[in-house]
Amino acid sequence: MHCSVARTLDVVGERWSLLILRDAFNGIHRFDAFQASLGIARNILADRLAKLVEHGVLERRRYAEHPPRDEYRLTAKGRALFDVLMAMVHWGDTWESEGAEPPVTITHEGCGAVMHAVPACSNCGQILTPWNVRTHPARTEADAGVSA
Amino acid sequence: MHCSVARTLDVVGERWSLLILRDAFNGIHRFDAFQASLGIARNILADRLAKLVEHGVLERRRYAEHPPRDEYRLTAKGRALFDVLMAMVHWGDTWESEGAEPPVTITHEGCGAVMHAVPACSNCGQILTPWNVRTHPARTEADAGVSA
């Protein structure tokens, strides 16, 4: 499906995959540490890690030779999911917390505040809302066919 | 699982659900219009719409009485997913487009630029990165047990 949201979901739309990435942002890199953090079955963890490596958002790096041991590190493509994670965390905290305190608070080291992420315009920095953006579908081959 | 990312995925981690929301942001509200846009089987569409209503991100509104016809509108909770969608679109465009032009371009009406969303600090407006935020796990009952 020719849609960026669909392609993103192919990579991060599965619960364990995104939770693994969340842990990776929090400094977890090794199989046993992921397993302890997530309480996930080892075969499922191995499968999800392999898929994330296949999608290029994690990469395996050998950290010991005897016995051979690999760890999993975010690639540039994986680090770019920071924006998606920050948005998901804030939405979950706001709308799905059932009145509980957020399980994690996040501070911005620049200003020191406990804060959340808001979407800003990459050009001018103003805050974006559903009312101040406009989407323009690109002309696709299908469109060209219809208009021909 | 006591994690905001997991709770968010409960609502938007399924491909059709997020694509339905994307269409709702683009002004689609009626069953047949969703169906035409997504090419989704009617029983699956009905199921996903019902789940989104159940989660409170869409609400049904009657727009005709004879015969009775409902449409689906984003609630405040649903509109708040704008941040998540903007982040997903940008990531997909950047990393999963396989060199193709983005299927949709987005302009910010404030400055007129074709742009994408970047995460900014809700307190000071500076751009957030994985390197300038710090997460602080809240003290949980489990923690209290360990330290007791």
Vertex A9 angle, CA A98 and A50, to 5°: 105
Residue B139 has a pLDDT of 57
Chain A interface mutation, best of B7, B34, B131, highest count of A Cβ atoms under 10 Å = B7
Vertex A96 angle, CA B104 and A76, to 5°: 45
Q: Is the pLDDT at A144 greater than 70, yes or no? A: no
Closest chain A residue to B132 measured between Cα atoms? A109
Q: What is the pLDDT of residues B104-124, one digit of tens each?
A: 889 999 999 999 999 999 999
Q: Which helix (H) or strand (E) holds A104?
A: strand A104-108
Chain B interface mutation, best of A20, A91, A107, highest count of B Cβ atoms under 10 Å = A91
C-alpha of A1 from chain center: 20
Burial of residue B117 (CB within 10 Å: 0-12, 13-18, 19+) is buried
CB contact under 8 A, A133 and B2: no
Mean of per-residue pLDDT scores for chain A: 86
ipTM field: 0.84
Six-digit token string for A16: 């364990």
Could you say which of B86, B104, B126 has the minimum Cβ distance to residue A138? B104
So where are chain A's domains?
4-79, 87-148
A54: pLDDT confidence band, cut at 50, 70 and 90? very high
Say whether the peptide bond before residue A67 is cis (omega within 30 degrees of 0). yes
Q: What is the pLDDT of residues A12-42, one digit of tens each?
A: 778 888 889 989 998 999 999 999 999 999 9
Q: What percent of chain A has pLDDT over 70?
A: 90
Domain covering B4-79, topology: Arc Repressor Mutant, subunit A (1.10.10)
Could you say which of B4, B88, B133 has the minimum Cβ distance to residue A8? B88
